[in-house]
Amino acid sequence: MSMINYASREINCKLVYYGPGLGGKTTNLETIHGKVSPDTRGKMVSLATETERTLFFDFLPVDLGTVRGFKTRFHLYTVPGQVYYNASRKLILKGVDGVVFVADSQLDRMEANIEAMQNLYDNMAEYGYDVTQIPFVVQYNKRDLPNAAPIADLQAQLNPGWPVEDTAKQKEVPDPYHEGEFLVQQVDGQWVERAPYFESVAVTGDGVFEALRAAAKLILKSLS
């Protein structure tokens, strides 16, 4: 989880981009790294083998404020897209503070999205983490393609919501990013909570920073 550097008065947070292969995780990090001020970002590192690649860099946001007087530095990682590199995926999730799940919106990639989402839940559980309790954002990428699935179908398959058992939390919570929608609501008599979601076209940068800011704000809220 987050690490505190008292010498530099920084809180270091780990944000992992997860999802199916070729869904846009790498493009997200490349876009973010390319647009963040060189003064506030670290070098992008590619940990590559013959058949897989993991990207990493850190940056110090200037617009998200501080936590108890400490600046926040976010370390961004991607995981290998292919499920058969699961050992690497699990290793990268160790100590995670938040997750952005990058789904491929194409209709023929729905099964790969579902498989990657289940893999995320399974790997988090092995560390004793609960996806429903950590900062978690879903990003539907490639919305510009003609075979992109409707958002309603993607939500039903990948972000249907998890039960809200705490009675204190059983109240409607509007989605601040989508007018008329809710993050917590009652569905067929059952209270459910969904992760915030964003539509994106990572190759152009559309929606990339919106998802990043939402995840970062959730992480900061969890620290305060």
pLDDT at 224: 79
- Kindly state whether residues 170 and 153 are assigned to the same domain: no
- Kindly state whether residues 96 and 188 are assigned to the same domain: no
- Kindly state whether residues 49 and 155 are assigned to the same domain: yes
- Kindly state whether residues 112 and 173 are assigned to the same domain: no
pLDDT at 8: 83
Q: How many residues does the chain have?
A: 224
Q: Indicate the pTM of the whole model.
A: 0.94
pLDDT at 61: 83
Number of H helices, E strands in the chain: 5, 12
- The rounded distance, in Å, linking the Cα atoms of 73 and 161 is 30
- What are the tokens at 113? 């999205």
Instruction: List, in order, residues 6 or more apart from 12 with CB less than 8 Å away.
Output: 2, 3, 4, 5, 58, 73, 75
- Kindly state whether residues 143 and 188 are assigned to the same domain: no
pLDDT at 100: 98
- Kindly state whether residues 120 and 174 are assigned to the same domain: no
Q: What is the CATH number of the domain that holds 75?
A: 3.40.50.300
Provide the domain count of the chain. 2
- Kindly state whether residues 21 and 53 are assigned to the same domain: yes
| Domain enclosing residue 176, as ranges | 162-194
- Kindly state whether residues 36 and 136 are assigned to the same domain: yes
pLDDT at 50: 62
pLDDT per residue rounded down to tens, the chain (224 residues): 678 888 888 899 999 999 999 999 999 999 999 999 999 999 999 877 666 667 788 887 866 777 888 889 999 999 886 666 788 888 899 999 999 999 999 999 999 999 999 999 999 999 999 999 999 999 999 999 999 999 999 999 999 999 999 999 999 999 999 999 999 999 999 999 999 999 999 999 999 999 999 999 999 999 87
- Kindly state whether residues 108 and 172 are assigned to the same domain: no
pLDDT at 64: 73
- Kindly state whether residues 150 and 168 are assigned to the same domain: no
- Kindly state whether residues 48 and 133 are assigned to the same domain: yes
- Kindly state whether residues 124 and 53 are assigned to the same domain: yes
Residue located via tokens 């990948």? 158
